[in-house]
Structure 1
Amino acid sequence: MTKIPTGAAWRPYLSTLADAGLDVASVGAWVAAAELPPARRRLARGAVAAVIGAVAVPGIRAARSAAAGADEPAVPGAGSGLPYVDVGIQLPAEDPSGDDPSLRRRAVLASAVGVGVLTTAVAASVGVTVAGRRLERRWLARLTRRGHPHPHRALALRMAGLYAALTVPSRLIAVRQVTKTGRRNAGG
Structure 2
Amino acid sequence: MDPTPVSAILHDRESLEAFYLEHLPWVRRFVARRVDDADTAADLTADVFIAAIGAADRYQDTGAAPRAWLAGIARNVVAMHHRRRSREHTANGRIEGRALLDESSTDHIVTRIDGERAARLVLARVAELPATQRAVVELVAVDGLSLTEAAAALGITATNARVRYHRGRTRLRLDLPDPFEVMT
TM-score (normalised: structure 2): 0.24
TM-score (normalised: structure 1): 0.24
